[in-house]
Amino acid sequence: MAIIGIDLGTTNSACGILTDDGVKLVPNRLGVTLTPSVVGLDEIGKLVVGKTAKERLINHSDTTVAAFKRLMGTDHKIKLGRQQFSATELSSVVLRSLKEDAEAFLNKEITEAVISVPAYFNDNQRQATKQAGELAGLKVERLINEPTAAAIAYGLHDKREGNFLILDLGGGTFDVSILEFFDGIMEVHASAGDNYLGGEDFVEAMIDSVLEELKLKKSSLKPRELQNLYMQMETAKRRISQQAGQLLKLNLSGREVEWKVTSEWFEKLSTPLLLRAKRPIERAMRDADLPSAKIDEVVLVGGSTRLALFRSMVGRMFGRLPSCHLDPDTVVALGAAIQAGLKEKNSALDDIVLTDVCPYTLGTGIVNEDSPQLGSYFLPIIERNTVVPVSIVRSVCTARDNQTEVCVDIYQGENRLVKKNVCLGELTVPVPKKPKGEEVVDIRYSYDMNGLLEVDVTVLSTGKTFNKLVEFTPGALSERDKAAALEKLAQLKFHPREEEENRALVARGERLYEASLGEQRDYISKLLANFDRILERQNPVKIGKVRAELNKIFDQLDSEDWI
């Protein structure tokens, strides 16, 4: 049974498989390896995923959603039409689409996967990702940190021994990992990052600047106007390195505005975001106790690392050009596929011993006798950047006379006050009545390679041990919720694979039609009407020929500034 590796990204997702001939990326139903992480419902309630859904973001913004990965591990609900979905459910739809693509490509059933997650994902987010895989019909064999997957894809383990810095700036998250390779072991020394920093934030800064200058608010724009503005700014961001000045025609609040995008303007907007990116890099270097001179290679991963400003910042920090010769959009999927091959013990791969670290400090709350009004103190049990798997025990005693129970709060974070950290759950255990401080309990935290936490509390006087696997966290699904989600998702059907190319093309044409005026709008309308007539004749050869011609025309229209 083949195990696939999946990169579930904020902007795009991809999957791959390790074969005897090396790693192969799986083409989706449109024949490309990148699937936009966008989900929607069409007019008849069927699911649209990927490029087709992305093309509908403007025209059908009330039934289409993107960038939901940022909501993983929360209980936030996203409304699509009359239905509501969690980020876990929407992610499962993307994973289900990738699973079906892999099954069509390999001509066999796929039931297992290795899924990548940002290194700085907390326990809630990792649990949500694992559950998304299960809802998609996948047994999640392993969660692998994205920078670690990228390092494997780059073959750093095949190079000389040394220290490597992986910088992963995607659409919605930024990860930093420092790895060392020696004696066949790839060891992660430190991880840091920002779960709310990515390419989307650069676009957001551009939009905020435009609206502030024009004295407009997002709430005053129609959903279609706002979505169109996002797409234009995204396109401008991608072109900023090649075009010194871009003149955009923006339709905002019923009026047409010309806006010039210059490199100076973009650099000014980007400076605060680049400063945010520097902080986790410096923090990881401090945690690993490594000066920049000891870093042998800096590797860039994630589509947003294509930004010249980001590459320039990294170059200045380390005094050298970073490595970026692999496609930053697919390198994580390649590494996940290799890790999946490791799990399957593929004969084409020599064993690599892979270690990882706990990205956050895990601990519990203890009584604050100094300043009770501030709340409990945080007692660290597993410090951040401890190599995993790991199991550490700390002892605490009762805080009151005749105490009958001890409540062990489970927290994650770096603040000395528990209320400023993330609560993952609690475990309450009974203890015999004794004077304050005489009853002792051992608290053991065990953290595994998937970033999942198990807590054991032992009452020393009775010898009884109580256990909790942290899983009922915000955004996580109980068994009852999971069954309900499976039933809801089972009722939502995908369109047949063979229709997907045509649907994506029509959605693209409709988006271009909405963005154009006058003669261009009439021209696109005629092209779409002609394609509708060709589809009705059901001649596959003719449909394929006209589809190819239309794609060329739409490519030309998409390259023009009026979009």
Look at residue 563 in the predicted model and tell me its pLDDT. Answer: 37
Report cis status (omega within 30 of 0) of the bond before 328.
no
Active site residue: 7, 100, 175, 471, which one? 7
Give the residues of the chain that fall short of pLDDT 70.
Answer: 1, 156-160, 184, 244, 345-355, 370, 450-451, 471-479, 488, 490-498, 514-517, 559-563
Q: How does DSSP assign 492-504, residue by residue? A: SPBPPGGGHHHHH
- Tens of pLDDT, residues 193-209: 888 899 999 999 999 99
Helices (H) and strands (E) in the chain, counts: 13, 28
- Tens of pLDDT, residues 133-180: 999 999 997 888 888 888 888 876 566 678 889 999 988 889 898 988
User: 103 to each of 70, 149, 203, 488, 497, how far by Cα in Å?
Assistant: 28, 23, 35, 23, 12
| Fold (topology level) of 3-197+271-356 | Nucleotidyltransferase; domain 5 (3.30.420)
Look at residue 298 in the predicted model and tell me its pLDDT. Answer: 92
Look at residue 343 in the predicted model and tell me its pLDDT. Answer: 78
How far apart (Å, rounded) are the C-alpha atoms in residues 363 and 470? 13
User: Which structure tokens are listed for 268?
Assistant: 């000014």
Look at residue 450 in the predicted model and tell me its pLDDT. Answer: 67
Q: How far apart are the first and last CA of the chain?
A: 46
Look at residue 562 in the predicted model and tell me its pLDDT. Answer: 39
Decide: 16 and 334 in contact? Cβ < 8 Å: yes
Torsion angle in degrees (nearest 10) through CA of 339, 345, 348, 353: 60
Q: How does DSSP assign 255-310, residue by residue? A: EEEEEEEEHHHHHHHHHHHHHHHHHHHHHHHHHHT--GGG--EEEEESGGGG-HHH
Active site residue: 168, 234, 297, 329, which one? 168
Nearest in space to 184 (alpha carbons), one of 146, 165, 158: 158
Decide which of 2.60.34.10, 3.30.390.30, 1.10.15.40, 3.30.70.20 is the CATH code for 360-466. Answer: 2.60.34.10
Which residues fall within 8 angstroms of residue 410, CB to CB, at 6 or more apart?
362, 364, 423, 424, 425, 426, 427, 453, 455, 468, 470
Look at residue 394 in the predicted model and tell me its pLDDT. Answer: 94
Look at residue 104 in the predicted model and tell me its pLDDT. Answer: 92
Q: Is 54 tagged catalytic? A: no
Q: Is 356 tagged catalytic? A: no
Q: For 370, phi and psi rounded to 5 degrees?
A: -75, -50
* pTM value > 0.75: no
The 10 Å Cβ neighbour count of residue 480 is 8
Please state the domain extents for the chain. 3-197+271-356, 360-466, 498-558
Look at residue 105 in the predicted model and tell me its pLDDT. Answer: 93
Look at residue 559 in the predicted model and tell me its pLDDT. Answer: 66
Q: Could you identify the residue written with the tokens 């905020």?
A: 208
User: Which structure tokens are listed for 294?
Assistant: 């000891």
**Dihedral sign for Cα atoms in the order 48, 54, 56, 62:** positive
Q: Is 7 tagged catalytic? A: yes
Active site residue: 55, 141, 146, 356, which one? 146
**Dihedral sign for Cα atoms in the order 135, 137, 141, 143:** negative
Q: Is 401 tagged catalytic? A: no
367 DSSP 8-state letter:
-
How far apart (Å, rounded) are the C-alpha atoms in residues 111 and 407? 39
The 10 Å Cβ neighbour count of residue 393 is 13
